[in-house]
Structure 1
């Protein structure tokens, strides 16, 4: 093996680790934004305050093996089976992240649009219910967009990491 090949082969696990770490940070930040995102208001026809919240379930995988691989230079599980597991599980996680990104942006847009349409109808009827809390609701939906954007960045970083996993499989089948 030539010196540049050995150098590149040694750097790939470190790059993969950094990408997975950045992905994890982005996804955890996205999750934190979603968990803490809420809006509280008092409806006109009720004496009780209403709080709305967004929630999201986050899937993380393979950080333990990647950390172990970077520090010890070997995998927790046999390399042959692990490389196929990583490749296929990356595709599943990428699909879930892509779905989450689409759902995050789509649901936030649709909810905001429907609420704006309801506000228009209520204003024509003489009610200013939603207009009175519009800035709080805008902040609520903006945090939904922030969370979806962080999820999108996590998806992109994880995509690059998945590409590195594909390179590892390609190298293995060539040898």
Structure 2
């Protein structure tokens, strides 16, 4: 019996070698992270400027973004995202220059948390803009006021926040890929 088992083993060809998985160098991932963090910071900064300068005269009063709670929440998410982005940008520059991987757990959990926060701010900004725009478009009293510019700026700020969320979501994917390789 041992002779038959030996002949069967000799007759079966070895399986073909598997191709190696695609390798992404950690240097290219660090550079991609740095570029995405720069884009995120710039998008959040521009979104912050657009939102903070959003005012319109309504009869004898000014309508400002602070008067609407959802825009305040959007502002909070932008400010928190900008602060985190600035911190991570400095750490990313250090990582690219030094060739180190940095604090992987901060990248992993921070990118996930901030991406969810930015997504919720985007949703709040778009939702309140759509609702209030629909209400004011139905009322003929608002035809005399140039309130459309107010909503256009709110849309622009929310759109920039959405793009910043997309960059942070990509960073979250990169940190999810990098963490298991190093830990």
Q: Is the TM value for this pair above 0.5?
A: yes
Structure 1 residue 85 displacement after superposition? 2.1
Listed as ranges, the matches of 1:67-82 within 5 Å are 67-74=93-100, 79=102, 82=103
Q: Which position in structure 2 is the counterpart of 1:149?
A: 159
Structure 1 residue 72 displacement after superposition? 2.2
- Secondary structure, aligned partner of 1:67: helix
Q: Is the 8 A contact 2:47 2:158 kept in 1?
A: yes
Q: Which position in structure 2 is the counterpart of 1:161?
A: 171
Equivalent pairs, count: 148
- Secondary structure, aligned partner of 2:100: coil
Q: Is the 8 A contact 2:47 2:161 kept in 1?
A: yes
Q: TM-score, normalised by structure 1?
A: 0.77
Structure 1 residue 71 displacement after superposition? 1.9
Structure 1 residue 91 displacement after superposition? 1.2
Q: Which position in structure 2 is the counterpart of 1:25?
A: 42
Structure 2 unaligned blocks of 5 or more: 1-19, 66-71
Q: Which position in structure 1 is the counterpart of 2:148?
A: 138
Q: Which position in structure 2 is the counterpart of 1:45?
A: none
Distance 2:27 2:96 in 1: 9
- Secondary structure, aligned partner of 2:63: strand
Structure 1 residue 112 displacement after superposition? 1.1
1:53 aligns with 2:64: yes
Q: TM-score, normalised by structure 2?
A: 0.74
Superposed CA RMSD:
1.9
Structure 1 residue 114 displacement after superposition? 2.1
Counterpart among 114, 130, 134 of residue 93 in structure 1? 114
Structure 1 residue 53 displacement after superposition? 1.5
